[in-house]
Amino acid sequence: MSNENELLRVSNLEVIYTSRHETVHAVNGISFSLNKGETLGLVGETGAGKTTTAYAIMRVLPDRTAKVLNGTIEFEGQNLLQLPISTMQHGIRGEKISLIFQDPMSALNPIMKVGDQIGEALKYHNKENLTPEQIDERVDKTLELVGIQRERKYDFPHQLSGGMKQRVMIAIALVCEPDLIIADEPTTALDVTIQAQVLAMIDELREKLGTAMILITHDLGIVAQMCDNVAIMYAGEIIEIGSVEDIYSGEMQHPYTTGLFGSLPDLETKTERLRPIDGLMPDPTDLPVGCKFSPRCPRCMDICRTLPPEFHTCGTHKVACHLYDDREGGNKNA
């Protein structure tokens, strides 16, 4: 590990899905790292490879169709991809790394009381050898921590509102006090006012417990509020990565990131229409040869259609785009 604060280092990760007739290139050689207590926003459109990255870290990719072709995922110095699945189940998942799913309705068990679902995670890992009474007490405390009265532990998921169900998911993720939470679009299924409350609560709890987080989202506004660093993903690649200040400063910005900002409403200027990015994400079974964004890029040059851009670095800020080939200190491709 390059620094003692480093918690997670993903290097050159490549994941494909295969069927009888085609191969989907979902994640294509991504690298990033995360320090203890830090928050990284993983941003991109649907199909960019964000959730596949999360599932690869948790080792919950579907066995029959997904394959990690290359790369390492080092967590506290050990490569998760080489651990026996029993160690993932008992020593890592839930205990050290937790996942908050997008949709609480499909992630919660509809025929189990929510208190039992929170307690189940504790019973399964139970690294502190808690007695049933202590587990019950911890469930009550965790429910209160996420803003739900302890009496509601006897409710089934359908008796709770959408926001409360997501709070229960967060309680399940936090109850074993993991070192890393991966939150996969945790508020997408909620309405806007509840979204803000749930996000504020995740942030507060994360800070209180000192937990690191990977926040998967397509919303740059949420990232600005909650993250230290940002990785922008496109067609299975990280095309720009840096601190929130780097990404939002607009200096050495990737045209795709510029497009993402351009499609956001601005409260200070009166705009008739938002400017969406033209075109669609490329077919992951048949990706463009050069820059994956070239078919949609308003600044595309000839070189972009044939040669994939390498990263150009300015401090901790990295951008993969041929526009910066001549920049001093950049990796020149041409």
Judged by CB under 6 A, the stretch of 87-95, 109-117, 217-225, 300-308 that binds ligand SF4 is 300-308
Judged by CB under 6 A, the stretch of 126-134, 217-225, 267-275, 321-329 that binds ligand SF4 is 321-329
Judged by CB under 6 A, the stretch of 39-47, 272-280, 297-305, 326-334 that binds ligand SF4 is 297-305
Nearer to ligand SF4, 216 or 321 (CB): 321
Interaction between residue 309 and ligand SF4 (CB under 6 A): yes
Interaction between residue 48 and ligand SF4 (CB under 6 A): no
Interaction between residue 294 and ligand SF4 (CB under 6 A): yes
Interaction between residue 160 and ligand SF4 (CB under 6 A): no
Are 53 and 46 in contact by the 8 Å Cβ rule? The answer is no
Distance in Å, CB of 19 to ligand SF4, minimum: 29
Count of residues that interact with ligand SF4, criterion CB under 6 A? 14
Residue with tokens 């919660």: 108
Interaction between residue 291 and ligand SF4 (CB under 6 A): yes
Window 169-208: contact mask with ligand SF4 (x via CB under 6 A): ----------------------------------------
Kindly identify the residues of this chain, within the stretch 230-269, that bind ligand SF4 according to CB under 6 A: 254-255
Nearer to ligand SF4, 254 or 317 (CB): 254
